[in-house]
């Protein structure tokens, strides 16, 4: 019942943002949250690697850090979900408060700092899933106090290679000091060499080539983006995720929380992340799979991401303001876009506006 969902959303918005998030996860764990009402549209299916995504819309990492509700999220209509970021050892993250809503701007600032329960806890939950159907990616990170951060990423690959639908190597969070330094070319080359080598060893043992994607920040300079894409292609990384949160505060209308430290997501990130997406697509060429993230809050913004070069999509922050009904709204809207344009698949729409977006000024 939409009225009940709207009432629940308004109630959550009366709580502080982190408490509201925990309440949402608890509600999903009960199994009582209404699932998707939309009929599956085969035109929205996307085939990448050895996976068939029933639709392109995924839940971004950060919502379900500890793998508590992957199946509940899939029931909401998401084509896939991504758990994590997960680090080898549990860590509490930064002190609270550490997440702030910007209602007028439909944005969120967070400085969680990779708070999670660690590899062992996530592994136990994923092993306990009643069904292994559905696509569940695993986003791996490094502990804040790690002496060897590359070793932490490798440990994530080794721990989850037999159950991950795909991996995301997250070097883009602004909330772990020095983490984004791994985007620098020499450090990135070392990281990707180690991660891909570990994945390939797991392929030999397990018989499946688990796709590895690299998640980057939207704040990299053009020259650095070129270096990143060259390394991704040279090291045979399977895809890119563009992008994580921004440390900029461009165009915000509000006072107060806008000055809080952390990464900004939601609607204010849309323009910057879409420009970066298009530029990454131009640099990478047509074959590298790219997931577009940042500011998707409607069917229109989802369609724009696809035409700017995205094969798949992810969202998170928009749910804070629009609730879970947004999933069906976006999927039905994408189906309508295909119908309006006489297209039989999203791949036919991809890249239509890459040049225009790539030439925009950040």
- Per DSSP, the three-state class of 18 is helix
Whether 165 sits among the annotated catalytic residues: the reply is no
Alpha carbon distance 137, 213 (integer Å) = 10
Alpha carbon distance 187, 194 (integer Å) = 11
The number of helix segments (H) and strand segments (E) in the chain equals: 12, 13
Instruction: Please report the beta strands in 152-211, taking only residues with DSSP state E, as ranges in sequence order.
Output: 167-170
Of 148, 214, 155, 210, the C-alpha closest to 185 is: 214
Of 268, 348, 266, the C-alpha closest to 307 is: 348
Alpha carbon distance 86, 122 (integer Å) = 8
Residue 8 to residues 3, 32, 33, 321, Cα–Cα distance (Å): 9, 12, 10, 12
Alpha carbon distance 312, 306 (integer Å) = 8
Class of residue 129 by CB neighbours under 10 A (exposed 0-12, middle 13-18, buried 19+): middle
Among candidate residues 173, 198, 243, 317, the one labeled active-site is: 173
How many angstroms separate the first and last alpha carbons of the chain? 41
Indicate which residues carry an active-site annotation.
173
């Amino acid at each position: 019942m939409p009225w009940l969902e709207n009432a629940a959303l308004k109630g959550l918005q009366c709580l502080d943002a982190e408490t509201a998030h925990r309440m949402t996860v608890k509600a999903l764990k009960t199994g009582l949250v209404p699932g998707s009402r939309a009929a599956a549209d085969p035109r929205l299916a996307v085939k990448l690697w050895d996976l068939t995504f029933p639709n392109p819309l995924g839940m971004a990492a950060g919502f379900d850090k500890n793998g508590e509700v992957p199946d509940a999220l899939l029931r909401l209509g998401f084509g896939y979900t991504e758990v994590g970021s997960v680090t080898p050892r549990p860590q509490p993250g930064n002190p609270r408060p550490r997440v702030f809503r910007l209602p007028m701007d439909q944005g969120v600032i967070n400085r969680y700092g990779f708070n999670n329960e660690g590899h062992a806890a996530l592994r136990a939950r994923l092993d306990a899933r009643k069904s292994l159907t559905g696509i569940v990616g695993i986003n791996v990170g490094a502990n804040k106090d790690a002496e060897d951060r590359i070793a932490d990423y490798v440990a994530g690959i080794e721990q989850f290679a037999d159950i991950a639908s795909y991996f995301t190597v997250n070097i883009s969070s602004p909330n772990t000091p020095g983490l984004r330094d791994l985007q620098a070319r020499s450090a990135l080359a070392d990281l990707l060499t180690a991660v891909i080598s570990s994945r390939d060893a797991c392929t030999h043992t397990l018989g499946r080539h688990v796709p590895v994607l690299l998640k980057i920040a939207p704040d990299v300079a053009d020259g650095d983006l070129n270096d990143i894409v060259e390394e991704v292609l040279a090291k045979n990384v399977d895809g890119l995720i563009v992008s994580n949160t921004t440390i900029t505060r461009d165009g915000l209308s509000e006072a107060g929380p806008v000055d809080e430290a952390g990464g900004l997501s939601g609607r204010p990130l849309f323009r910057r992340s879409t420009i970066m997406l298009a530029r990454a697509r131009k640099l990478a060429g047509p074959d590298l799979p790219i997931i577009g993230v940042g500011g998707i809050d409607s069917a229109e913004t989802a369609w724009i991401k696809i035409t700017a070069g995205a094969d798949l999509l992810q969202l998170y922050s928009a749910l804070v303001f629009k609730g879970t009904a947004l999933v069906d709204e976006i999927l039905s809207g994408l189906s309508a876009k295909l119908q309006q344009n006489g297209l039989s698949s999203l791949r036919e729409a991809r890249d239509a506006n890459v040049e225009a977006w790539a030439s925009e000024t950040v």
